[in-house]
Structure 1
């Protein structure tokens, strides 16, 4: 999966109005990047300043569902502003919204400027620009502050990508837990060194294990638990964990930014939760507050 920023100016396309009125698919003008974009790539939808300074920032995250191609005039909708006949000369990419910000709850440029990695990148510095590609590290930083600062609504009508936190592969999960348990006596320093090792430098029991189609590192599971002291990282959690067969308190390892939505299997993106809070962060009404609290801990 690649990551892109797609630029919009309000004088060309009424993005904010379209999202507010429930539009969840867009044909987006794509020229320079048309040979790089593939189905399944992630897109951050950025509105530039134009004549609406208050709406500058990221308003949605989308997934590419059809590669760039030329459109007929009839395929343009009423949110396109200007001479449509000129746009037929350019390719457009079909994208479907996965997450979007409530009206006036978007990720603002000022919040992005607090992240040195993004400050001088593309249109984030206030300069005019075009669609551009993000590195994996840049995309992770941008998605982190999106979830932290924007009033995010998930588009449940969108086809959900595989999410290792909601799919079941009990055999693989059991193997992952067994491998993590074998590392329970390692120090944080030893685990950090193991995480950096390649597959060829690890013993068979230390190898990554594929769960729901995504490789998981047992050393990261062990690291997260030792870092948290085998306690739930939700503030003021009163749940008393039971003891596992090896005599340690049981906590589950949660990916703060889901793997299926571009989050990484890394020590920066995991937290320990009791089973109750783990379910709540996926299904409860306080899921965003808990997620933001966990993001702050890792920051």
Structure 2
């Protein structure tokens, strides 16, 4: 006999009365038991967002639940999907020379702390190849120059399609993606970068921060858009520092923040907790 299946429903639509009641009633009539539910109606945009995790009884498939939900989804013109929580999200990780975020993602995947499967590691350098090889991950070296950028991005798109990657993670990948690629993979690329006040740009941002005597350093994970480093924010964190921290120590602290912020963002996305809401996001935390 088949086992019960744990599923998650995510939806967004225009905010109207009856959505929650309709969803709850439909799931109950299908014999499903709601385990966790979160919803948010944005008064500014007029949009409604909902995430429902539930257990479907033995013998009831994801397709059966989706079929039962289809009428109410059409009624409210929802953007929606039902997924099996046991399915790890396939992700493609891109990295240049700084490998701390890649190492952290690999370790968390191995320990079962992230519901993802790294299907490929892509880099414009060879520095990360030993890490990929050691962890039995496919490694793809795609060099990028000003003259070969379009060709390199075409190879990346082919690789995303071949591997079935549902998310591209820029784990300190130090190349700016083109507007065409950012648009094509909209909502499917997460980037991590340092975030300070002031926002230090260029080489050695932590050394710049040290020279200015900053008191907080941090990092931001966001979706990639055609506007550089201005995509919808998913996760942020910061840590207090002082004049006593040398520049090299700020680098170490900053890398630790970057790794954990990126991991939290990837986990939230993989668990279908993140909804894009214009230039912002709605994130339902566990």
Query: By percentage of residues, which structure has more strand?
Result: 2
The TM-score normalised by the length of structure 2 is 0.30
The TM-score normalised by the length of structure 1 is 0.29
